[in-house]
Amino acid sequence: MIRGVRGATTVHMDDLDIIISATEELVAALIKVNDIQAEAVASVFISTTNDLTAAFPARALRKFEGWTYVPVMCMQEISVPNALKMCVRIMIHLNTELPQSEIKHVYLNGAKVLRPDLPNSLAL
């Protein structure tokens, strides 16, 4: 069965190194808390708010061993008034037998405010 594993983080500046580093930190946390193996990943969608244009955050995934062939797509979030700025969001489509309630979603930095309603999410 395919499940979605969500995460998000924010950055303080539209800078290539900062965006890649923040995305790498987020992906590492998602991999760790969900024990994700690259072979179990069907695909990954990564979005950014429209104020982040300096980098494709998908480049961060290529730093992880075994993730070379994982299909990744970057896109831009809908520009909603008063929405969280400078935000990178990720959705990993994972083949797993875990029920939805056991998937751990991760929210870092300013993105901690996005899903306080999820009892199994981690705001690190």
Beta-carbon contacts of residue 120 (< 8 Å; ≥ 6 apart):
101, 102, 103, 104, 105
How far, in Å, CA of 123 to CA of 85, rounded? 17
Catalytic one of 3, 24, 25, 115: 115
- Does 62 participate in catalysis according to the annotation? yes
- Does 39 participate in catalysis according to the annotation? no
Catalytic one of 6, 59, 65, 97: 6
- Does 77 participate in catalysis according to the annotation? yes
Catalytic one of 62, 69, 87, 97: 62
Catalytic one of 39, 77, 97, 102: 77
How far, in Å, CA of 2 to CA of 21, rounded? 27
Phi, psi of 65 (to 5 degrees): -60, 135
Catalytic one of 3, 89, 97, 102: 89
Catalytic one of 3, 24, 25, 74: 74
- Does 87 participate in catalysis according to the annotation? no
- Does 59 participate in catalysis according to the annotation? no
How far, in Å, CA of 28 to CA of 124, rounded? 12
Structural tokens at position 70: 């994982």
- Does 74 participate in catalysis according to the annotation? yes
Q: Which residues are catalytic?
A: 6, 62, 74, 77, 89, 107, 115
